Structure 1
Amino acid sequence: MKVLVTGATGFLGSHIVEAALAAGDEVRVLTRPGSDKSYLRTLPGVEIFHGDLGDPDSLLSACRGVEVVHHSAGRVEETGRRAQFWDANVVGTRNLLDAARAEGVDRMVYVSSPSVATDYVGDRFGIDESEPYVREPKSLYVETKAIAEQEVLAANGPDLLTCALRPRMIWGPRSGGWMSLLLRKIRSGRLPDLSGGRPVMVSMTYCEHAAAASVRASRSDRVAGNAYFLADAEDVDLWRFARDLATALDLTPPTRTVPAPVLKAAVTAFDTLWRLPGLAERVSPPLSSWTVAALTVSSTYDTTAARRDFGYSPSVSREEGLLRYVEWVRSVGGVPAVVG
C-alpha cells in the first residue's frame, strides 16, 4: 500500500515508518521544511514531502495517490498557548481529514492517548474502551486530543475508514518526552520517590508495539470507527522501572521521600501559582496534581479489543526493551546527549 505518515520526524512516527516499510508499504512522510530529517534519510525508499498540517493545499498534495494515512503528528509539549494546542491537534487533524476525503484516501489511523479517557482519581486496573471521555481535562493536550479523536472517529464512513489508537507511555530507542524527562530528573537528583512504599502499577507501550499496531490496524476492517488502548504484555511497577533504568545507566536511583502532607501542600501551591495568566504558557510547574497523579496512581489497560480486531501482539519484554533502550542511549553519547 501507499501510505502517508505524519509526525515522522518524531519518536513514534519514525517507528511507524520503519514498521510500514517492513510490511512492504510504499512510505511518504509529511515533514516541515525545517525539521530534522537526518534519520529518515537513512531509511531506503522513503519519500520525503514538505508540508504542514496548517496548510490545506500541501495536505491535498501529500494525500494524493495515498491509500492509508498514519496520523501521529501533534503538539505534545507541556507548555504553550491554547491556540497552539488547538491549531496543532484539532485544526490540523480536521485539515488532514478534509484532504484525505478529497483525495480518496481509504483509511486513517489516528494516534491518540489513553489520557483522553483516564481521570487518574484512584487506582484502576484493566481499563477498557467502555471508559467514557474525561469530563474535566487536566491539560490543553488532553482536551485537544480528546476532541480530535472524537472527530476522527465520527468521520468514519463508507469512503474513509477511521480508527484511533491509545498507546500508554510509549518508550524505547529514540524516545524523548516522558522518558527523557524522567532521566533528566533522576540525573539531577531532583526526583523523589513518590510511591509511598507501594507498587504503582502502570501500562507502558514499547515503541515497536505501537508502530506495529498502527500498521496492523490499517489492514483491518473491524477497526472502523473504534478506539483502542495499547499496552505491553506485562504491567510495570513504575518506580521499580525508574530504579532499574537508573541502575542500568549508572545513575543514582530515586530514594528520597516526601511526607504526604508536604507533597499535598506543594502540589496545591504550584497548582494555584500556575493559574497566573501566561505562566503555564511558558514554564512547566515542578509538580502539579496531574503529574503527581500520573506518578502515584496505578492505571493499567485491557488490550483485548486490539488483539481481537487487528491481531495486536506485543512481543518485546520489559527486560529486552530496557536493554535496547540503554544500548541506544550509549550509542548516541550517553545520558547527557539524551537529556540535553
Structure 2
Amino acid sequence: MGKRILITGAAGNLGSLLACRLKEEDVCLHLLTHRKDVPSVLKEKENITVFKADLGEPGTLTEALQGVDVVVHFAGVLFRHNPEKFLSTTNTRYFNNLLDVAVVQGVKRVILISFPHVEGETTPEHPAAGRLDGTPVSVHAITRLEEEKLLFDYGRKNGIEAVSLRVGMVYGRGILMVDAARWFSRYALLGVWQKPTWIHLISTEDFLEATRAACMKEGIEGIYHIGDDGVQTLQEFLDEAAKHWHTVKPWRMPLWMINTAARFFELCSRLFGVRSPLTVDFIRIGQVSYYGDTSRMKEELLPRLKYRDFREGIGTL
C-alpha cells in the first residue's frame, strides 16, 4: 500500500468528492468526520477507514493521524449565521489543534484548501501571486489567511511540507453552490449585483486531479493557485449557466436587496437552527474579484487541463 492520506471534512462536499477520486488509488485513506457520515460508497473499500473526531478536542485526533503521510484539510463551518463570531475558532484554533497533533505523529505534508481572496482584490491583469501580506475584507478570507500563515510557520519550524491550494470557484454537478444557483434560477429567484466581478473558475474534474497530484507527487510545497485559463465575470458565468440549464437568467439587483435577503436567511438560521445559504459575509467576499497566477500549478501539478474554460466544461453543470 502506498501513501496514507487523511482528509478532514471528508463528509463534506469537496472532501467527499476527493475521497471518491482517491479510493481507487494505491493509497490508504483516513476519512475524518464529525457529525455527518461519508457516502456509503466510501465504506465498501478495504483501503478506507472512517474516524469520528472533533477538531476542537485534540485528543480525538491522535488515532486518525497515526502513520499518516499527507493531510488534506477541508473541514470548516459554512452556512451558519454570524460567521464573524465563530470563524476565528473553527478556522484558526481548530487548524492549530490539527497541526499540533500532526507534528507529534510525524505527518510529512499538510495541504490546506484555501482561495485567492486571501490576497484581497485581484484580477486577470493583476492576479494573486502567492503572497501572505494581502488585505482581505471578509471574515472568511481573513481567517483563512491566518490559517495559511499558521501552516507555513509550522512547516518552517517542524519540517512539514506546507502546501496551500488557493482554489478558484469549483463548478460542476454536485457542487453545493452551483446546485443552489440552479435551484434559485429555476424558480426565477437567482439574483446578482450589478458591478462586474472577475472570478477564476476550475472544473470539478480538474480540481480533483490537481489535488490528487498535490497529495501524490514528491517535492510539492508552497502556494499553488488552482484555476483554468478562462477569463470571465461572475455575471457572465451565471448568465451562461442559466442558458445551459434552460432556466431564468439571474436578475441584476441592487446590493441592498441582496444584503437584506442575506440578513433574513441569517435570522432564520439563528431562530430555527437551520442552514443559511446566504450570509452578509458571503456577499462581502462574493463582491471581491479574484484571479490567481496558475503557472506553478501547470508546472508541477496539472500541466494539461481537461476543460480550459467553463464554456468547454459547461456540459458538466
* Range class of TM-score, shorter chain: 0.7 to 0.9
| Alpha-carbon distance, 1:127 to partner | 0.7
Are 2:116 and 2:128, in contact at CA under 8 Å, matched by a contact in 1? no
Letter in structure 2 aligned against 1:113: F
| Alpha-carbon distance, 1:286 to partner | 7.3
| One of 245, 251, 270 as aligned partner of 2:247 | 251
Letter in structure 1 aligned against 2:150: E
1:322 maps to 2:303: no
Distance in 1 separating the partners of 2:145 and 2:256: 30
| Alpha-carbon distance, 1:241 to partner | 2.6
Letter in structure 2 aligned against 1:11: N
Distance 1:233 1:39, change over 3 A: farther
Aligned partner of 2:169 in structure 1 is 169
Q: What pairs with 1:35-74 in structure 2 (closer than 5 Å)? A: 35-41=37-43, 45-74=47-76
Deviations, residues 102-137 of structure 1 (Å, cap 9, x unaligned):
1111111111121111236xx553513254544353
With normalisation by structure 1, the TM-score equals: 0.76
Letter in structure 2 aligned against 1:144: T
Letter in structure 2 aligned against 1:185: F
1:159 maps to 2:151: no
1:86 maps to 2:88: yes
Distance in 1 separating the partners of 2:220 and 2:34: 30
SS at match of 1:54: coil
1:207 maps to 2:207: no
Deviations, residues 201-248 of structure 1 (Å, cap 9, x unaligned):
421122222222222123445433x22211023234433332332233
Structure 1, unpaired ranges of 5+: 326-340
| Alpha-carbon distance, 1:166 to partner | 0.7
Aligned partner of 2:213 in structure 1 is 216
Aligned partner of 2:298 in structure 1 is 307
Letter in structure 2 aligned against 1:147: E
Are 1:216 and 1:312, in contact at CA under 8 Å, matched by a contact in 2? no
Distance 1:149 1:313, change over 3 A: farther
SS at match of 1:115: helix
1:242 maps to 2:233: no
Aligned partner of 1:135 in structure 2 is 135
Distance in 2 separating the partners of 1:193 and 1:102: 47
Letter in structure 2 aligned against 1:211: L
Aligned partner of 1:337 in structure 2 is none
Q: Give the aligned length.
A: 307
Are 2:5 and 2:29, in contact at CA under 8 Å, matched by a contact in 1? yes
With normalisation by structure 2, the TM-score equals: 0.81
Distance in 2 separating the partners of 1:286 and 1:164: 26
SS at match of 1:18: helix
Distance in 1 separating the partners of 2:268 and 2:84: 10
Aligned partner of 1:150 in structure 2 is 149
Are 2:116 and 2:291, in contact at CA under 8 Å, matched by a contact in 1? no
Distance 1:94 1:264, change over 3 A: closer
Aligned partner of 1:16 in structure 2 is 18
| Alpha-carbon distance, 1:13 to partner | 0.9
Distance in 1 separating the partners of 2:209 and 2:220: 15
Are 1:3 and 1:28, in contact at CA under 8 Å, matched by a contact in 2? yes
Distance 1:228 1:281, change over 3 A: farther
Are 1:69 and 1:107, in contact at CA under 8 Å, matched by a contact in 2? yes
Distance in 1 separating the partners of 2:277 and 2:73: 29
Letter in structure 2 aligned against 1:79: H
Same amino acid, percent of matched pairs: 21
| Alpha-carbon distance, 1:305 to partner | 1.7
RMSD across aligned positions (CA): 3.3
Distance in 2 separating the partners of 1:285 and 1:35: 21
Are 1:9 and 1:36, in contact at CA under 8 Å, matched by a contact in 2? yes
Are 2:8 and 2:31, in contact at CA under 8 Å, matched by a contact in 1? yes
